[in-house]
Structure 1
């Protein structure tokens, strides 16, 4: 029997998602309870501590399934991409009004009143989901009593035509391991976030994306590359902005950068090795 990937399966030695059945072994099975992300950005930690490593993030309005709560922490699984981790319990809420719209810009403000001079309550980021009750000439009136600039939202199901254009809007955003918003991104987070805006749910980590996205191209021929091709290394991924330039969130520059692919290949090879795959969506 293949070992279950704990990143994508809620399983511990003592507790497991009931949907795993016999695959969970001797762990106690639990169905879990539905919750929704109530914070602008929710960090999923590897352990129930704020100083523990962040593996990924979830955004406002995203649904999760909670399997355990203890001492202010929730052990949960994200519904969109299946990622498992620990998050602050206070950043979750009971599901209420279902979302109708998503944030369609890198970031925008949520106001307490339909007035741009009002002090914003929070900043919300691309792909956050909200429930809109009605719109006027300028503002969307939300079910939670707050307001967002209407042109910054799109109905769920209204997707972007070019995921690369979405990714390009995040150029110069700081690099953050596990990050998935304009506040900070890692390489696979940039790919996942951009594809989601274009209507495609992608796996979270670069190894999952390498195995699950697109059709393989030769890794020793760069002449035929085009916009939107994904370039993979061991633990890293970037997006071709055109036939020669790579857009990627990286720890070398500590931000999302656009650079010649040849430069990135030469630099990355010295520390992490050669390209492992090129995929075309």
Structure 2
């Protein structure tokens, strides 16, 4: 075997691998995946099948996955959205769940058992979660199903049709200002730098990979820059080795950072100087989308 495959994106172990990888990896058994969908509000994708294993990312409600193995409450999967491989809780998945028609466009919203905000909610869904809508009921949209429930109701302005992307991904990212930092997180309860970027881009209809090194390789076009950081604009992505932030204007960086353990906004040059001195080193690139 000559190719070095990224473990994050390769459904292969010594004992089991995806059938399409025959000839690329060594494994005792090769299998075809079983298509499923996430029916929990969100689900942790872990590096190993243990609840205390590192969190690599999160899968959101409605997300499609390919399942290669199910055992002892875990499913070994590959996410279809970004190709990430890992272990999800098996009870977060269902093979017959409906494909989403709408996505959550609010930072967080509730699913109610009826079309009333006075009812005890069934669950909360985060920005970017997908649901299947079947109709309207006053100010609410009716879900065709929700997890183990036959139906559910969500405040209509908090949802948008999948075919209607947000016009400005930066505005989506700004919704997350002051949200907690969580390594591997991708919900309003906690998210990391690349999770914030991927989530915002997805709301604008821009598919992107999960981690900052992947984003830096694959998203946008390089923008020349010098020590003065002139000529930048809203929406430019600023990269360090292992970190990414979004410019909300030519001089202001929005990023999820362990420095404050939040999504924070700060002057770009101040962030550049602190990050270079204390954590990720110098800026490695600036990239522009569109």
Normalising to structure 1: TM-score of the pair? 0.98
Aligned to 2:182: 176
Unaligned runs of 5+ in 1: none
1:98 Cα deviation (Å)? 2.3
CA contact (8 A) 1:35 1:64 kept: yes
Unaligned runs of 5+ in 2: 146-150
Kindly report which structure 2 residues correspond to 1:70-81, keeping only aligned pairs within 5 A, or say none: 70-81=71-82
CA contact (8 A) 2:243 2:280 kept: no
Q: Is the counterpart of residue 211 in structure 1 residue 212 in structure 2?
A: no
Which stretch has the larger CA shift, 12-21 or 37-46? Answer: 12-21
Alignment equivalent of 1:274, drawn from 269, 272, 282: 282
Aligned to 1:93: 94
Offset from partner CA, 1:8-27 (integer Å, 9 cap, x none) = 11011111111222102244
CA contact (8 A) 2:221 2:287 kept: yes
CA contact (8 A) 2:12 2:27 kept: no
1:157 Cα deviation (Å)? 1.2
CA pair 65-173 structure 1, distance change in 2 beyond 3 A: same
1:46 Cα deviation (Å)? 0.6
Matched position secondary structure for 1:240: strand
CA contact (8 A) 1:219 1:276 kept: no
1:93 Cα deviation (Å)? 1.2
1:151 Cα deviation (Å)? 1.5
Aligned to 1:238: 245
1:241 Cα deviation (Å)? 0.6
Aligned to 2:148: none
1:156 Cα deviation (Å)? 1.1
CA contact (8 A) 1:44 1:56 kept: yes
Kindly tell me the number of residue pairs found equivalent between the two proteins: 281
Q: Is the counterpart of residue 48 in structure 1 residue 49 in structure 2?
A: yes
CA contact (8 A) 1:174 1:255 kept: yes
Give the aligned CA root-mean-square deviation in angstroms.
Answer: 1.0
Kindly report which structure 2 residues correspond to 1:14-29, keeping only aligned pairs within 5 A, or say none: 14-29=15-30
Matched position secondary structure for 1:241: strand
Offset from partner CA, 1:32-87 (integer Å, 9 cap, x none) = 10111011111100111111110000100111011011111111000110000111
Task: Give the distance between the partners of 1:26 and 1:199, measured in 2 at CA.
Answer: 36
CA contact (8 A) 2:135 2:141 kept: yes
Normalising to structure 2: TM-score of the pair? 0.95
CA contact (8 A) 2:3 2:24 kept: no
Aligned to 1:226: 233
Structure 1 outlier segments of 4+, above 3 Å = none
Aligned to 2:265: 258
Task: Give the distance between the partners of 1:161 and 1:45, measured in 2 at CA.
Answer: 32
Kindly report which structure 2 residues correspond to 1:190-205, keeping only aligned pairs within 5 A, or say none: 190-205=196-211
Task: Give the distance between the partners of 1:249 and 1:230, measured in 2 at CA.
Answer: 13
